Amino acid sequence: MTLADYLNNLKGKRIAVLGYGISNRPLTKLLTDAGLDVTVRDKGALPEIPGAETVSGEGYLAGLTEDVIFRTPGLRPDKIPLKPDAVLTSEMEVFFDLCPCPILAVTGSDGKTTTTTLISELLKAAGKRVWLGGNIGFPLLEHIPEMDPSDAAVLELSSFQLMSLHGRAGTAVITNVRPNHLDWHTDLTEYAEAKRNVFLGQRAGDLLVLNRDDPGSRACGESAPGRVRFFSRLEQQPEGAYFDGETVFFRGKPILKRQDIRLPGLHNVENWMAALCAVYDEVGEEVCRTVARDFSGVAHRLEPVRTLRGVEYINDSIASSPSRTAAGLKALAGRGIVLIAGGYDKHIPYDDLGPLIGETVRVLVLCGATAEKIMAAVLAAPGPQPEIIKTEDLSSAVLAAAGAAREGEIVLLSPASASFDQFKNFEERGDRFKEIVNAL
């Protein structure tokens, strides 16, 4: 079915778009331009939207009697009061149904953006036209008429998007499954089940790439409909990728030296192995080496901001979970670290992070709703303890960190928490950190 066919089939039906965010704005225009009966509903204030009715405020879901409902990713499907014959879908679900080219989908608690971007860069370097989207890039549904079967759609998918998704990705990657978003999901089991939706629609010849070292990712191999390929830092993988501490191997062949990979940290070696498992057959060894030397990373992921008076400032605002902050601390261990942490509480435990902070951080600067939880985990850990400074907000935290840092040290923003207590998202938080640092 083409996109035009799909839109034509919606004629005569009443359509609701729930949430007017990044993915649903172009979706709304696509629907209204097709002359369809569209109502946009959002808890927040809405602008005037040409061709659409609007319902906003706390009761925006009241009287939801439309026939086709497009869900925003952040709204749980079971919180939507549907009439019995209504169809619940999303921009991403329709894209899966209509996409004319192979889909490579990446999910995971940590590393999914870097892995998705690496896959995209590798395919582009090999001459493939790539459409990067999902949780990064831009909404792709409206671009389906521009796509050819020889292209590739590379998607990063969050658990929110996957909660109700049952499409087919010819290649799927699960980087890891660690506690995250437990303020939104009912428990870790539901969160993990959402991640599994990335591969349950696969067929016998499709490929699932899993992290052998991560129990949550590894367990997915037991129910995979297609082929499974593992990557590991702990065990050799004859059909997958393996890192022996110096070299990345694929199918037993040395592909990359550690020094070839420009990205810092062992977690980025894992991201590279995941990408190799996904697309090595299509790109080859030389492309991998070229991209490894050139690719310097994605914004807000151990991103160097500036060096001032001998102190390096690094933005790792993406670290919205303890496991992500742990990866950053391990990547930078051995240098004096002044860590800025804290933010919105996603109800994730910090017990495992406490000892690592004690081992790697000289000064811990805390702010936000999780400040007390992080401090309690650090104080409860055996071994060395950092100096702890509590502040009110990010601005005062940066100033305190700058005052505490010594020449040769790092000031690292790696909050181990979401941003929603003070910012719309981690990008806004990271951008604000860079503004403050550049104004010092």
- Whether the pLDDT of residue 180 is over 90: the answer is no
Q: What are the start and end residues of each CATH 3.40.1190.10 domain in the chain?
A: 93-294
Note the helical H segments in 285-407: 285-294, 322-332, 353-360, 371-380, 394-404
* pLDDT value at 334 more than 90: no
- For 93-294, CATH number out of 3.40.1190.10, 3.90.79.10, 3.30.70.560, 3.50.4.10 equals 3.40.1190.10
Two tokens, residue 76: 């749980």
Q: Residue 297's pLDDT is what?
A: 87
pLDDT at 298: 87
Given a cut of 90, whether residue 296 has pLDDT beyond it is no
pLDDT at 182 over 90: no
Angstrom distances, CA of residue 106 to CA of 218, 307, 342? 15, 34, 27
pLDDT computed for residue 101 by the predictor:
98
Residue 427's pLDDT is 94
Q: What pLDDT is attached to residue 179?
A: 86
CB atoms within 10 A of CB 137: 17
pLDDT the model gives residue 166:
87
Strand-pair partners of 106? 156, 173
How confident is the model over 275-304, as a mean pLDDT?
A: 94
- Per DSSP bridges, beta strands 311-315 and 303-308 are antiparallel
Sheet containing strand 68-71, strands side by side: 52-56, 37-42, 14-18, 68-71, 87-89
- Taking residues 146-166, report their average pLDDT: 95
Instruction: Report whether pLDDT(23) > 90.
Output: no
The answer, yes or no, to whether residue 183 has pLDDT greater than 90, is no
Cβ 112 vs Cβ 159: under 8 Å = no
pLDDT score, position 137: 78
**Residues in the chain, how many?**
440
The separation between CA 91 and the C-alpha centre of its own chain, rounded to angstroms, equals 18
Which residue in the block uniquely carries the two structure tokens 């172009």?
26
Confidence of residue 22 (pLDDT cuts 50, 70, 90): confident
Query: How large is the average pLDDT for residues 98-105?
Result: 98
Residue 191, phi then psi, degrees to nearest 5: -60, -45
DSSP label of 108: -
- For CATH 3.40.50.720, the residue range(s) in the chain are 3-89
Q: What is the pLDDT of residues 392-434, one digit of tens each?
A: 999 999 999 999 999 999 999 999 999 988 898 999 999 999 9
Q: What angle do CA 9, 13, 17 make, to 5 degrees?
A: 100
CA–CA separation, 285 and 439 (whole Å) = 43
CATH 3.40.190.10 fits 303-438, yes or no: no
Per-residue confidence (pLDDT) for residue 129, from 0 to 100 = 98
**At the topology level of CATH, where does 3-89 sit?**
Rossmann fold (3.40.50)
Global pTM value: 0.86
Q: In this predicted model, what pLDDT tens digit does every residue of 346-400 receive, in sequence order?
A: 999 999 999 999 999 999 999 999 999 999 999 999 999 999 999 999 999 999 9
Cβ-in-10-Å burial (0-12, 13-18, 19+) of 427 comes to: middle
Handedness of CA 372, 437, 309, 327 (dihedral sign): positive
At residue 138, the pLDDT reads: 85
> Would you give the distance in Å from CA 190 to the centre of its chain?
18
d(C-alpha 221, C-alpha 379), whole Å: 39
Give residue-wise pLDDT tens across range 211-266: 999 999 999 999 999 999 999 999 999 999 999 999 999 999 999 999 999 999 99
In 163-247, alpha helices (H): 188-196, 215-219
Q: Where in the chain is the domain with CATH 3.90.190.20?
A: 303-438
What pLDDT is recorded for position 206? 98
